[in-house]
Structure 1
Amino acid sequence: MLDPYYLQELDDEEKAMHEFSKEWKLSGIQRIFYNNLVKVLGGFGSEAGKFIWPTSVTNTLDGDLAIKDTGNQQIQIFSPEGHHKQTFTYGSEATKCLGDVACTEDGLLLVSNGSKGIKVFSKEGEMIHLLKSSKADWKHSYGLAVLRSNSIAVTDWTDGGKVHIIGVDWRMNAVLKTNVVDGLQRPEYIAVTEDEDLLLTEGQLFGQRTGCCLKIIDKERAITKTIGPTYGNHFNFMNPSGVCVDANGNFFVADKGKNNITIFNPDSSLAALVVTHDLEGPCGLTVTKSGLLVVTDCYHHNVKIYRYKQGIAF
């Protein structure tokens, strides 16, 4: 829980975001914990188990954590308990710190790096294929998400910003078709809900505070809702980055400008802060199969794991 000094620094509405609401039980949470850190992975370095700029994280098919370190240009695999298991190199970054890691239903690891092409790796770290097509045009790839159909969603900074929904024949590693959602502003990370809605964050570039929101795109690929820059009467996003969804449909948004993590219930009618200090540039987010929140803390060169609800053990 927060200490009294910190609570004095919050205004009334921000304090209210730390109050337990009985409504949270509707989305599978009986009580929300704040700043409940249970494990820190890594630290600065280039050796196995260390990071320079950890920016993305996903769950593997086996329940491990696959962490993308753009500083070392590596994917590192950790057990759910936080033990380092494996490291492999994915190659150079086309654009510094642009890119993501995601896992398909078959356990393949997908890595984007700011270029027109997505690298496909086996779970052992062997590169299988470079997924691209002359018919597709994601020149500045950033966030990745895998849909239930095993299609993939890729955010792209080309022409201001767009999202590509890419159908793939995974037996032939071939792009079958691509649908595009245009009219976005520097979309970064992306997540998929149980209903296959897309949640994507729009950050800011060089201090230009346009975007700074989370957008929800439905199955018809229309933008149905925008959360931010302001939500509530006094709270706002400064530079939202990572986004993920838990098993109950609650979703989390990291803000690397305000260095915090906000949780929203599935219809976004409730919001609460779950991490508010000791972060410096939080980027990628995921929730483990056991229900713990994982945050890549880029400029602290580590990955932090938090408990945010009751009944979860590390």
Structure 2
Amino acid sequence: MMDSSLEFCRQKEDLVRTVRTLQVTSQNTLQKTVPLLSSHMGLGLLRPFHVHQLSEKTTQVCRDLEDVGNLLLFRQDELIQTVSVPGTGGSSCLVWCSDGTLYVCGDNGPYIHVLNSQGKPSQALYCCDDDLFLPDSIRMTRLGSVVVTDIAEGAVRIHNPNSQPPWVKVGGHFQSPRGLAVDSSGRILVAEYTAGTIKAFHIDKIHRVHGIKKVDGLQGPQYICATPDGGFAISEECGDVKLFTNSLNPCGSISETYQHKFGNPSGVCADPEGNILVADEQKRNVTLFPVTGSPICIVSKGLCKPAGITCSPFGLLYVADSGDNTVKVYKYRARPYYTPNSPRKSGDAQSQTPRA
């Protein structure tokens, strides 16, 4: 243990010394060159290839430093809790609430299970209106109501405990509604799996639908999540994770931006800093795609069939594992609280990022 501790201390000292040297050298260079570049017409003996070479090396060093910072901040396979979900089926979708509770649904019957902050079942919402139904995806509206999709019946329902029955259908008929999200403006986003579309709309207090808009051209859209900049990300079965602005315009994809190849991307979520996390059902892992830097696999083992995922602003990742009907909780950050300064730029609206 003594040798190991000494080695860790040496590694930390080497890293601090390296970063400090870069900082001091770049600062000294700036102090020398800025006055010369400001007052002289020419570049002296500096040639274009010198400038090009310096630019390329600087770009690579900046990337390396970003990766170092991310590797220091994030953690891998740090499982802190495994929660068994009531029922015999598989848990496939979940949502974390600010009071620490989890809402979980899946193939374990016509129920939405509510787990307290310790992972213990505290309540079960019975899914029945004219008949029983199985919720496929779940989200919370800005008013605190539970909204779910029902792929079998092609319906989106909101839970209203004051009505009878307590589930109210909204938005008419959908073609295989699967993924579900609520964006920063309170708009509901529904991914229609077979149609390859996303429908976006607002609902009022009496559950009337307003301002319906649609996105076409997706290939088997599955899970969808809002991003802090007002846009959203959506996973396509055996495909990619696409990014959209708050005005529903496409703005790229994860695989193209990060040169990453997915197996079958399933659950997707974004943390308050704008980092996007994606579960891969085929590869049985979860990868984090930072705002800057290279992808990081934060869960590489222990998953059977990862489906829905969500994260909290305290550095915790929750994975609904439908393979063994559990929710696995991971600590994926070394520092729990967020201080976001530059969230992911993907939209034409300013960031809605909350501060912890």
Per-residue deviation, residues 261-295 of structure 1 (Å, max 9, x unmatched):
0001135x421000011111100010124320000
Taking a change above 3 Å as real, the CA distance of residues 298 and 125 of structure 1, as seen in their structure-2 partners, is: farther
**What is the CA–CA distance in structure 2 between the aligned matches of 1:266 and 1:125, rounded to whole Å?**
43
Between stretches 221-230 and 252-261, larger displacement belongs to 221-230
Q: Is the 8 A contact 1:242 1:283 kept in 2?
A: yes
Q: 1:154 aligns with which of 186, 190, 197?
A: 190
Show structure 1 runs of 5+ residues with no match. 1-20, 44-48, 205-211
Residue aligning to 2:253 = 226
**What is the CA–CA distance in structure 1 between the aligned matches of 2:286 and 2:108, rounded to whole Å?**
23
**Deviation at residue 138 of structure 1 after TM alignment:** 2.1
Q: How many residues align?
A: 271
Taking a change above 3 Å as real, the CA distance of residues 229 and 256 of structure 1, as seen in their structure-2 partners, is: farther
Question: Tell me, what secondary structure is at the counterpart of 1:242?
Answer: strand
Work out whether 1:121 is the aligned partner of 2:159: yes
> Identity of counterpart residues, as a percentage?
25
**Deviation at residue 25 of structure 1 after TM alignment:** 8.5
Work out whether 1:276 is the aligned partner of 2:312: no
**Larger C-alpha radius of gyration, 1 or 2?**
2
Q: Is the 8 A contact 2:258 2:294 kept in 1?
A: no
Residue aligning to 2:237 = 203
Q: 1:101 aligns with which of 120, 124, 138?
A: 138
Residue aligning to 1:189 = 223
Between stretches 120-129 and 297-306, larger displacement belongs to 120-129
Work out whether 1:71 is the aligned partner of 2:108: yes
Work out whether 1:130 is the aligned partner of 2:168: yes
Q: 1:23 aligns with which of 66, 79, 93?
A: 66
Q: Is the 8 A contact 2:304 2:324 kept in 1?
A: yes
**Deviation at residue 228 of structure 1 after TM alignment:** 2.6
Q: State the TM-score, normalizing by the size of structure 2.
A: 0.69
Residue aligning to 1:163 = 198
Between stretches 57-66 and 215-224, larger displacement belongs to 57-66
**Deviation at residue 113 of structure 1 after TM alignment:** 1.6
Question: Tell me, what secondary structure is at the counterpart of 1:311?
Answer: coil
Q: Is the 8 A contact 1:108 1:120 kept in 2?
A: yes
Residue aligning to 1:89 = 126
Work out whether 1:38 is the aligned partner of 2:38: no
**What is the CA–CA distance in structure 2 between the aligned matches of 1:71 and 1:230, rounded to whole Å?**
37
Residue identity matched to 1:253:
V
**What is the CA–CA distance in structure 2 between the aligned matches of 1:122 and 1:107, rounded to whole Å?**
10
**What is the CA–CA distance in structure 2 between the aligned matches of 1:252 and 1:124, rounded to whole Å?**
36
Residue aligning to 1:300 = 324
Q: State the TM-score, normalizing by the size of structure 1.
A: 0.78
**What is the CA–CA distance in structure 1 between the aligned matches of 2:262 and 2:282, rounded to whole Å?**
8
**Deviation at residue 168 of structure 1 after TM alignment:** 1.0
**What is the CA–CA distance in structure 2 between the aligned matches of 1:59 and 1:142, rounded to whole Å?**
19
Work out whether 1:139 is the aligned partner of 2:166: no
**What is the CA–CA distance in structure 2 between the aligned matches of 1:189 and 1:280, rounded to whole Å?**
18
**What is the CA–CA distance in structure 1 between the aligned matches of 2:226 and 2:88, rounded to whole Å?**
27
**Structure whose residues are more often helix by fraction:** 2
Q: Is the 8 A contact 1:60 1:107 kept in 2?
A: no
**What is the CA–CA distance in structure 2 between the aligned matches of 1:261 and 1:312, rounded to whole Å?**
19
**Deviation at residue 167 of structure 1 after TM alignment:** 1.5
**Deviation at residue 41 of structure 1 after TM alignment:** 0.5
Q: Is the 8 A contact 2:158 2:170 kept in 1?
A: no
Taking a change above 3 Å as real, the CA distance of residues 111 and 173 of structure 1, as seen in their structure-2 partners, is: same
Per-residue deviation, residues 216-243 of structure 1 (Å, max 9, x unmatched):
01122111102238953xx520100000
